[in-house]
Structure 1
Amino acid sequence: MPKPANITLKMLYGTAWKKERTASLVQQALQAGFLAIDTAAQPKHYQEHLVGSAVRSFLSTSKFTRQDLYLQTKFTSINGQDRNNLPYELSTSITEQVEASVASSLHNLRHNKNSEESYIDCLVLHSPLPSIKQTMEAWDAMSSFVPSKVHSLGISNTSLPILQHIWSNSTVKPTVVQNRFYAATGWDIALREFCTDNGIEYQSFWTLTGNPDLLDCQLVQMAAEQVGVSAEVALYSLVQGLGIAPINGTTSHIESDVAELSKLEQWKAQGRNIETWGKYVKAMDGLLKQWTYSLEHRAR
């Protein structure tokens, strides 16, 4: 198992689509309290080298060390890359592409001038490849870096059958799944149960943007009003209560999200509020199952 995504927030800061603002936003997130960062060796959508620059700057002026951080990056196959801007040679094998991509990530995410000391807390397969054979070739190549340069492996954008195949046919098991969390997949209820049963951390993205109906529902609004936080923070915390570590990619609410999450945790620690919040979480679980059943019934 990887170390917790964040001891305080139980949430990762997402760095997709930040472009030239990546370094300043990541440093802002680290200073605010996000100690877990998600990125990718995919120049099309991520600036991994700027994430590394922000990490080095933060560590040079703070009390934290590299061991206090959780840095997660991804190997992205050619299907998700800009062919004119790759971290590997297009003509090489999948195994060689993984090796080159990881080498570039280790350099980009080095925490000091000595690249030899660099390591990645979790390396995620960005998406399954076109065939299961190709997917397993990539997984086996990623596994070769564990445990020295890469501490754990994960997979993103996966279905339950593919996750189960990797689990059953690999020596290095996945410890992270990162998926869209929204109605179209039934909020991954069955997949999340598999993760829970096998000690896999489920990370969600599109937690807010993919769930406008959840944000507006009476349950979330009531929970937010009772604690005195935004609906967005209330939804994040309810999702966390389901055993999920959300990816938060905000550019404008970094400090306020941390402050409100802290406020909510303090509220839960008072009196019997933890029991009250537990009822909200249970109601959220029931709501997702009810909505999923309704969507499936309607699709028949």
Structure 2
Amino acid sequence: MESTISSRGTPVLLSGSPIPRIIYGTARREGKTLPNVLAALDTGYRAIDTATSRRFHHEAEDGQAITQYLDANTMSVHRDDIFIQSKYATPTDQTNPWPYDIMDDTRSRVFKSVLRCASNLDIDVIDVYFLSAPTGSLDGTLNAWHALESIANRGGIRYLGICNVRIARLRKLYEQAQVKPSFVQNWFRKVNGYDREVMGFCREHGLVYQIFGVFDGENIDLLDCEPVQRHARSNSITNHQALLQILLVMAAARGLHLCILDGTTSTYHMGDNLKAVSQVEETPDAEHREFSDLIGWT
């Protein structure tokens, strides 16, 4: 099969449409995964983030939810309209049932994880598959990456990505990879300087930069900061909606393709967040520039 992966240009859905700027994150939803994912799809989310690891995700239930939704909406929504991403997890991220034997070599672990993912999600091609984090060494990371490359080159994965990565490892991976990463997914938090260096690398090299944890408790000061409050008041929206809009406009103004992971379990907030993203004005104003200065995204 000819590879469907491309490291050139902007990643797209199988349908050819742009990937959504907001992605439903399914982490830490044990026992509630299926109804929450169904609710997200019903509300209008068209991108789902999961992982083969059972430490934080329940990939099989995510797959059930996607299948149920598509079966119930065959006339209006198709597999090609939904962006599905998952992750290979190292042994430290695993709980039973394991997708591989602990004694397997890295290549076998990666292959078995991808097979488990495709089975769990009932799909024949994965839109983007991430390393959940770099391994303990550059060689270990590259071994796992090369295994993913072989699957991507045979059409099983469309794009590759890496999560929870610092700038030094990202640079080395990018330099040595045959199939370059198209995505980076990192935690958006003050303690790491809002990931300025990795964000800059993604912008420079045209990678899609995904952030999670935007609404974590440690970011409460961003929700309450003056530019966000002013944007919310002037547009009659919530601070949560204002923060989403400011982040997306600020990124676009810098030539960065930004996606935001959102894991709310409230259908009300799902609707609000989707509405905010759909109504983003592309021209930055003083509030966006003030916010950019605040987090250091210059």
TM-score range, shorter chain: 0.7 to 0.9
Which residue of the partner structure matches residue 258 of structure 1?
271
Q: Write the deviation string for residues 203-253 of structure 1: whole angstroms up to 9, x where unpaired.
A: 00111114111111111111111111111121122122224211100001x
Alpha-carbon shift at residue 278 of structure 1 (Å): 3.6
Q: Which runs of 5+ in 1 are unaligned?
A: 112-117, 269-273, 293-300
Amino acid at match of 1:139: W
Q: Does 1:81 align with 2:94?
A: yes
Aligned residue number for residue 249 of structure 1: 263
How many residues were matched structurally? 277
Q: How does 1:131-210 map to 2 (within 5 A)?
A: 131-147=137-153, 148-209=155-216, 210=218
The 8 Å contact of residues 9 and 258 in structure 1, kept in 2 or not, is answered as: no
1:66 aligned to 2:79? yes
Residue 211 of structure 1: aligned partner: 219
Which residue number corresponds to residue 271 of structure 1? none
2:65 to 49, 54, 75: 54
RCO higher in structure (CA 8 A, sep ≥6): 2
Alpha-carbon distance, 1:153 to partner:
0.4
Q: Give distance in 1, aligned partners of 2:19 and 2:87.
A: 24
TM-score, L = length of structure 1: 0.86
Rounded Cα–Cα distance in structure 2 between residues aligned with 1:8 and 1:14:
15
Amino acid at match of 2:57: Y
Alpha-carbon separation, structure 1, partners of 2:280 and 2:130: 35
1:100 equivalent in alignment to 2:112: yes
Structure 2 letter corresponding to 1:49: A
Query: Aligned partners of 1:248, 1:96: CA distance in 2, in Å?
Result: 32
Name the aligned partner's letter for residue 50 of structure 1: E
Query: What is the rounded CA distance, in whole Å, between the counterparts of 1:8 and 1:173 in structure 2?
Result: 18
Shift of 1:266: 4.2
Is the partner of 2:211 in helix, strand or coil?
Answer: strand
Q: CA deviation at 1:46?
A: 0.6
Q: CA-atom RMSD, angstroms?
A: 2.1
Structure 2: how far apart are the matches of 1:65 and 1:128? 33
Structure 2 contact 13–82 (Cα < 8 Å) conserved: no
Q: Which amino acid aligns with 1:86?
A: W
Q: For 2:106, give the aligned amino acid.
A: I
SS of corresponding position for 1:140: helix
Residue 151 of structure 2 aligns to a residue whose secondary structure is coil
Counterpart contact for 1:23–1:51, Cα < 8 Å: yes
CA drift of 1:103 comes to: 0.3
TM-score when scaled to structure 2?
0.87
SS of alignment partner, residue 27 of structure 2:
coil
Matches of 1:29 and 1:195, distance apart in 2: 28
Matched residue SS, 2:210:
strand
What is the CA distance between 1:79 and its match in structure 2? 2.0
1:129 aligns with 135
- Contact 1:227 / 1:264 at 8 angstroms: preserved in 2? no
Tell me if 1:234 matches 2:242: yes
1:45 pairs, out of 27, 40, 56, with: 56
